[in-house]
Amino acid sequence: MRSYLKFLSRNKLYTAIEAVGLAVSLAFVILIGSYVWQQFAVTRENPDRERIYVPGMPDYPGMTYGFPELLAEIPEIEEVAKLSFLAPTYKMHETLYAAAVDRAFFEMFPIFRFLEGDADALFSGMNVLLSESFARKEDLSLGDNLTLDGKDYTVAAIFKDLKGTVFNPYEILLPTEHFQDRWEPFDNFGSTLCFLKVRPQTDRLELYGKIEDICKKVYPDTYGHVFFERLDLFRFDELFFRETDRQFRHGDLKTLHILLLIGLLLLLSSIFNYINLSVALTGKRAKEMAVRQLNGASKRSIVGKYICESILFTAVCFGAGLLLAEAFCPMLNRLLNNPDVPIRVAWSPGYVLAYVGIISAVGIICGVIPALMAGRYNALEVMKGNYRRKTKMVFSKIFIVLQNALAVILIALAITMEAQMRKTQNRPMHCNIKDMYNLSFITTEDQTPLKDALESLPFVKRIGKCSGTPGTPASGQYSTTRDGQDIMYRLYRMDSTAFRMFGFEILKDYNTPVFNSVWFSDESFAATGFDDDYHDISVLSQRARGCEQLAGVFKAFPTNNANIGKEEHAVISVVRPEDIWFGSFVIEVTGDRKEAYSKIMETYEDFAKERQTYLNYPSWIDESIEEECKPARNNMRLVEIFMILSIIISLLGLLAMSAYYADEKSRDIAVRKVFGGTVDTEAWRTIRDYMILVGIACIIGIPIAVYAAQEYLKDFIYKLEGYLWIFVLAVVITLGISLLAVLWQTLKAARTNPATELKKE
């Protein structure tokens, strides 16, 4: 072992690159692996997860309030639980994140940990259960009263906040029996989640068929059409990674796959460095191994020595990686979109075994090839000095090509991600949202006093009323296209003032009356099959609440600001303000926005006194759009961080290999200089040979990079186009770094006195 440490100290550059690359890559492999494992742990939270199903509409696991009672006739179902969505008004203008549940829900999902009271207390009288954080915030204890929607309830139990679970972080739970009159039994689709616990060995397809038969009987006019085109049957352990609107928390499976891929690339890059440099340096330890053979050591023991050294080196790097992982955890958790499932470095027995497994696997992988190379030594040949002359660097040349190809791919992908992010952030709105405040609230009171008070503020230019604003999804309205196909529109309702304030980019104007008219985006106009001669909206008018004719066509604004998935078809109906029952005031202001916000909210608070009204996420429209983009932007930033680290590790390997390549060529340079070669000719020859390898790597890497970029970009709505320059730039960067890396080492070797170099032989 002493000889190994001495060898490492004599080759500080190579050792440092191996250690830094392996430690950093292992740190992020630990972080990525822990995060992925902890995300998938959410899917395993219930021991009966493979026996619990949730029926629903396509990609929306929700049914009607009365549907669960109908499933008792299915013999495969052991138990049915119910959860209904609520948004009760609390205090003057605050809503709670709440749900109504039945007794079976607590039996099926034993995830609640009660600090005071228990679940049974919910079902005796007018009782409620509160989350720990809500009870603390409102200073509520067991036995205190709570008024919701004008009704008085008693706090019967307090449970720990729901974290690390697929369920939403409900602040309050109420019994379903108190709300059975709120919903129609077989209407209000999506109001209730229905959980089915089935018997072991139940066939999923048979279960699906029996539930579908019930749907056909209960919803004869709805099932098979528009929003309930088909039944979807979700298994509980599938919910976390399914897009299910907001009924459940969900993880981002695509991001996990990208992170896993990048983690693998990080590890491969560092392993490439380790193996490549270890193989390259076997010649420097040739005499040591020859002496060991002459002293009786077998080739097997030499191979074993290399592998043991590799495992020890990996273990030290892994320890450093653990410390780095702990240090990077807070930064990465700030970028995560699900703070309830944070990245953490765990020390449970399972994790420790995984750590030992990683150390052993990486150590053996990194050590086995250099060990096999070392096992091929012939002691007599080495002692005669023939080993170096027989070295052809074939293995190292392969690794140089692979490392450069990886660098091209990673650099191209990193640039693609950054360019696409900027493209997303600069996505055109095709309307005006500057200095527009969306004062969103719900009330049945007369809103005229509030509007008059707001208009009197000196910084207010105009006030309009609308339901839905550009940049965010509005309510969905189903209709049919010209050829009778089902289509869903996002319907934005606004008065004429709001329509003018937004300044939509008008493409066609059919000069219809201002009110009770509909404007189609160019995309929805084309999807419906309309043209200048045919644009009959008689089918749509039923859904658009009385709108009678098509006013014109505007340039589509984004309805999906995450810019991933699909863009939906926007339709604007212009109506009188009194016809917008549940909407908001959109306020155009001048001057300081902070002061304007303060005065607007002060005016609203004066209006809200002694009135039944509550706010509904008011915000500046542009800031709201920015917030909607945040999860996608964070995902890209997280991926970019790991990508850049992969590039750095790869480039460190290139630096070391270029140094080794130049060093190995030093004897050939010396011989040619004896026979008339010059510094310039020898430097050019060596650089040319090395750059040929880099060129081969670019030829290999570019097609892979193009394919990877296309796969990454395919899900974006407003996507990067004409991005050939990215691959040209990636090649230029790789060639430039490789050239600079090999140049200084080659010039150093070319300028060395030939006699000095030949003495080494």
pLDDT 10s digits, 319-354? 998 999 888 888 877 776 655 677 888 888 888 898
Half-sphere exposure of residue 475: CA atoms within 13 angstroms, side-chain side: 11
**Nearest alpha-carbon partner for 726 in 427, 410, 426, 402:** 410
Cβ atoms within 10 A of the Cβ of 708, count?
A: 16
Cβ atoms within 10 A of the Cβ of 354, count?
A: 16
150 contacts: CB under 8 Å, gap ≥ 6: none
Q: Is the pLDDT of residue 744 over 80?
A: no
Q: Is the pLDDT of residue 211 over 70?
A: yes
Q: Is the pLDDT of residue 676 over 60?
A: no
Predicted confidence at residue 163, as pLDDT, reads 84
DSSP string, 461-491: EEEEEEES-TTS--EEEEEE-TTS-EEEEEE
**Nearest alpha-carbon partner for 669 in 591, 746, 566, 595:** 746
State the average pLDDT over residues 256-268.
77
Predicted confidence at residue 539, as pLDDT, reads 64
In SS3 terms, 297-362 reads as: CCHHHHHHHHHHHHHHHHHHHHHHHHHHHHHHHHHHHHHCCCCCCCCCCCCCHHHHHHHHHHHHHH
DSSP string, 679-735: HHHHHHHHHHHHHHHHHHHHHHHHHHHHHHHHHHHTTBSS-----HHHHHHHHHHHH
Most confident of 379-383, 544-548, 628-632: 628-632
Distance from first CA to last CA of the chain, Å, rounded?
27
Contact yes or no for 658/734 (Cβ under 8 A): no
Contact yes or no for 20/653 (Cβ under 8 A): no
Q: How far apart are CA 170 and CA 112, in angstroms?
A: 11
What is the bridge-based pairing of β-strands 232-235 and 549-554? unpaired
Predicted confidence at residue 683, as pLDDT, reads 63
What is the bridge-based pairing of β-strands 486-494 and 460-467? antiparallel
Q: Is the pLDDT of residue 197 over 50?
A: yes
pLDDT 10s digits, 283-319? 556 566 666 666 666 767 777 777 888 888 889 989 9
672 contacts: CB under 8 Å, gap ≥ 6: 681, 682, 685
Cβ atoms within 10 A of the Cβ of 139, count?
A: 7
pLDDT 10s digits, 596-616? 999 999 999 888 887 777 777
**Nearest alpha-carbon partner for 491 in 572, 552, 412, 423:** 572
- 174 three-class SS: strand
Output the CA–CA distances (angstroms, integers) from residue 47 to 110, 114, 203, in the order listed: 10, 20, 19
Handedness of CA 459, 461, 463, 468 (dihedral sign): negative
Contact yes or no for 18/660 (Cβ under 8 A): no
Q: How far apart are CA 379 and CA 375, in angstroms?
A: 10
- For the purposes of burial, counting CB atoms within 10 Å of the CB of 578, is it exposed (0-12), middle (13-18) or buried (19 or more)? exposed
Please name the residue ranges forming H helices in 142-285. 204-218, 253-280
Predicted confidence at residue 544, as pLDDT, reads 59
pLDDT 10s digits, 397-454? 777 788 788 888 888 888 898 888 888 888 889 999 999 999 988 777 888 899 999 9
How many Å is the Cα radius of gyration of the chain? 34
Contact yes or no for 243/59 (Cβ under 8 A): yes
Output the CA–CA distances (angstroms, integers) from residue 49 to 34, 43, 236, in the order listed: 22, 8, 5
pLDDT 10s digits, 688-704? 777 888 899 899 999 99
* Mean of the per-residue pLDDT values of the chain: 81
Contact yes or no for 437/596 (Cβ under 8 A): yes
458 contacts: CB under 8 Å, gap ≥ 6: none
pLDDT 10s digits, 557-569? 988 766 776 777 8
